[in-house]
Amino acid sequence: MKKKISDPKQRLLDTATDLFYNQGYHATGINQVIQEAGVARASLYLHYESKETLLLAFLQQRHTDWMAGLKRFTDTAAKPKEKIQAAFDFLSDNNEKEHFRGCAFLNILSETTDRDAEVLTVIQDHKKDLRAFLGDILHKEKQAVKDHVYLLFESAIVESQLYRNQWPVQEAKKMAAGLL
């Protein structure tokens, strides 16, 4: 039987998600995580080997959720071009909901060195999946077009975070439409 709201493990993950995403990995202390999750300190280490393990769990869940959200948007359209447009709408939607905090993966990437091999891999895998996802929608297009759309998509995320503004998403959306 499931717990009423969520079990400690999930509560830890949800809190870490919030904090790692919104204030950064290194800027977030274990103390804050357990406090906001409402669990004992040792309980964290019962479910997650280390802070980094928690980070990985966050990234993995985020990957699943984010890709699902993206798919929900692209599924509403039929043609490739419209699906791509819907993908940009997903970004707009995210920006609103998450106050322009940008891409969780690219943000963590900034705090990651080559020594954190595992983290780096998860981040790269996420982006490869995204790239493949967009590529599949555009399976009739040439590789150059696929890449072009992907790069505009990435810019849209990063630049709207930078300026705290939707214009990069809207502009990139138009540019992508022009390519198709």
Partner DNA sequence: TATGAATGAGTTTTCATTCAT
Partner DNA sequence: TATGAATGAAAACTCATTCAT
Interaction between residue 40 and a second copy (CB under 8 A): no
**Residues in contact with DNA by the rule CB under 7 A:** 7-9, 26, 28-32, 39-47, 50-52
What residue type is assigned to position 59 of the chain?
L
CB of 164 to a second copy, least distance (A): 8
Binding partner of 9, given a second copy, DNA, none, CB within 5-8 angstroms per partner class: DNA
**3-class DSSP state of 76:** coil
Q: Does 125 bind a second copy (CB under 8 A)?
A: no
Backbone phi, then psi, for 10, in 5-degree steps? -70, -35
Buried b (16+ CB within 10 A) or exposed e, 141-176: beeeebebbbebbbbbbebbbeeeebebbbbbbeeb
Total residues in contact with a second copy, by rule CB under 8 A: 38
Our finding on whether 107 is near a second copy (CB under 8 A) is yes
Please name which of 86, 78, 101, 102 lies closest in space to residue 149, comparing C-alpha atoms: 86
Give 9 or 148: the residue with its C-beta nearer to DNA: 9
Residue 26 or 139: which CB sits closer to DNA?
A: 26
